[in-house]
Amino acid sequence: MPPLRRRKHRVGIALGSNLGDRDAALREALERLLEIVEIEAVSSFYETEPVGYTDQPMFLNAVCVGTTDHSPYDLLTACKAIEAAMGRQPGPRWGPRPIDLDVLFYDDLCLDDEVLTLPHPRMAERAFVMTPLAEVAPEWRHPRLGRTAADLAAGLPAVGIRLWARAPMRVGRGFLYWGRETLVMGILNVTPDSFSGDGLLKGPGWVEAALEQARRFKAAGAHLLDVGGESTRPGAEPVPAEEEMRRVLPVIRRLAEEGLGPISIDTYKVEVARAAVEAGADLINDVWAMRADPAMAETVAELGVPIVLMDNRSRREAVVRDPRLGARYEGAVQEDIVAAVKAHLQERVQAARAAGIPPYRIILDPGLGFGKTVAQNLELIDRLGELRELGFPILVGPSRKSFIGYTLNLPPEERLEGTAAVVALCIARGADIIRVHDVQAMVRVARMADAIVRRGPPWTA
């Protein structure tokens, strides 16, 4: 996607529902709000006790922030139109409703007339408003009270409010919702030399071949597509940025034209990342977590897209090759590989935050197969849940990796069952996204695993 279009006015909107499928109602309202607000961030969903008239169902509440070209009154009118379209009927002020949208603030405007009051009256007294607002806009300052959202929320007792679902992530034309299902990312290797043998750059029709594979992936249930123009197999030679762009940009443009997103660009080079986003990519998957190119962090902050930060311990001198099983890493085993990966990812998060990348645009990847021994990869999978303590969505890419091959003594083309076992265990341990080659099979594995481990709500795991 192109960089977020910065509209004139920064706004905050509260969403609430206590009739019907409340979770679905909030998600539908967010999608509808995209027509009038360039939403930058959405809070977690919270279940809260009703206010005023208490003999009614519990509410789900959330807050989104973004920018708009609408005037305050036009924004209010548009919100009321969304409420009506979603079935809200006139009723008691504090009564139940399928959807409720309130304009919380509009820049630092103070307004009080018979139509609209800004900031929203009494919002500073309500934990079900201030808790989610402080999550996405802690620095926002109440123009009448002179206090930040974080300060106001800290002073309110969190009574009658509990986490229902983790905050969705704005990606491309919509959102990624965590916890309800495992998201599947299909791999499009626009290379001649993928370790798994699926490189698409093998003839004059490679763009169409990539498009056809993408269509198959989406039809099979893939949620995202990851486009890469450089092999990251152990010991692979780097590709110049110009050649990488020659490979990936035509594919990304066609994917975007056909609406086959969200699209991820698998690159660690700033020039490629910027060009890919301009061509239609929606997020950046950096296997070096912004370490390979020092300008990456500021570029991602400027582009306003999410980034995947991966732990990578690859060293050429540690690569061991087998003609049948492929390359793997050998070396001294860390005393605690999980603690080491966790510490490194935390440091990368801090670097991202320092560069201006907000936490709601960060995904973490433990880097299975990247500079880890077979034993270390297996331990990372078993203890994946410990990385959830960092508080970010987790992506894992186990597909056809050499640690599976060396464990089962099988070449890449025979690692489907091994990949399936790892995918299922990663889901059980808390993975949010799985990055795979065999999309149809792994979608089925994910759905079965989800039926076992994602029996919520609430969707907090």
What was the pLDDT predicted at 2?
46
Residues 6 or more apart whose CB falls under 8 angstroms from that of 347 comprise none
CATH number of the CATH domain containing 105:
3.30.70.560
Q: Is residue 411 reached through a cis peptide bond, with omega within 30 degrees of 0 on the bond before it?
A: no
Q: Are residues 223 and 305 in the same domain?
A: yes
Catalytic residue among 166, 274, 348, 401: 401
Sole residue written with tokens 């590709």? 239
Indicate if 392 and 263 belong to the same structural domain: yes
pLDDT of residue 106: 97
CATH number at residue 206: 3.20.20.20
Q: Which of 111, 135, 165 is the last residue of a domain?
A: 165
Whether residue 48 is found in the same domain as residue 154 = yes
Give the separation between CA 117 and CA 113, rounded to whole angstroms: 6
Q: How far apart are alpha carbons 257 and 266 in whole angstroms?
A: 19
Kindly state whether residues 255 and 291 are assigned to the same domain. yes
Same domain, yes or no: 212 and 142: no
Sheet order of strands, 433-436 included: 362-365, 307-310, 283-286, 263-266, 224-228, 183-189, 433-436, 395-396
Q: Say how many domains are in the chain.
A: 2
pLDDT beyond 90 at 291: yes
Cα(227)–Cα(265) distance, integer angstroms:
5
Token pair for 113: 């007339």
pLDDT band, very low/low/confident/very high, at 104 (cuts 50, 70, 90): very high
Helices (H), ranges, 52-180:
72-85, 127-136, 149-154
pLDDT value at residue 3: 46
Last residue of a domain, one of 165, 199, 223: 165
Query: Of 36, 4, 29, which Cα lies nearest the Cα of 14?
Result: 29
222 shares its domain with 136? no
Structure tokens at 271: 């020039």
In this prediction, residue 318 has a pLDDT band, given cuts at 50, 70 and 90, of low
Does 113 share its domain with 75? yes
Of 451, 401, 391, nearest to 421 by C-alpha is: 401
Q: What is the pTM of this model?
A: 0.93
Do 406 and 310 belong together in one domain? yes
The answer to whether residue 334 sits within a structural domain is yes
C-beta separation of 306 from 349 below 8 A: no
Output the pLDDT for position 91: 76
Provide the token pair at 410: 């099988």
**Domain of 215, in residue numbers:** 180-453
Residue 238 has pLDDT above 60, yes or no: yes
Name the strand (E) or helix (H) holding 25: helix 22-33
Predicted pLDDT at 1 = 47
Classify each residue of 352-379 as buried b or exposed e, where b means 16 or more C-beta atoms within 10 Å of its C-beta: beebebeebbbbbbbbbbbbbbbebbbb
Q: Is 367 helix (H, G, I), strand (E, B) or coil?
A: coil
Q: Is residue 115 part of a domain?
A: yes
Express each pLDDT in 360-418 by its tens digit.
999 999 999 998 999 999 999 999 999 999 999 999 999 999 999 999 999 999 999 99
Q: Exactly one of 32, 126, 269, 435 is catalytic; name it.
A: 435
Residue 366 structure tokens: 């433990």
220 and 320 assigned to the same domain: yes
Residues 151 and 214 placed together within one structural domain of the fold = no
Q: How far apart are CA 301 and CA 53, in angstroms?
A: 44
**197 and 111 inside one domain:** no
Q: What is the pLDDT of residues 13-70, one digit of tens each?
A: 999 999 999 999 999 999 999 999 999 999 999 999 988 777 889 999 999 999 999 9
401 catalytically annotated: yes
Looking at per-residue pLDDT, the higher value among 6 and 117 belongs to 117
Which residues are CB-neighbours of 153 under 8 A, at least 6 positions away?
A: 127, 130, 131, 133, 134, 138
Q: Which of 50-59, 82-91, 175-184 has the lowest mean pLDDT?
A: 50-59
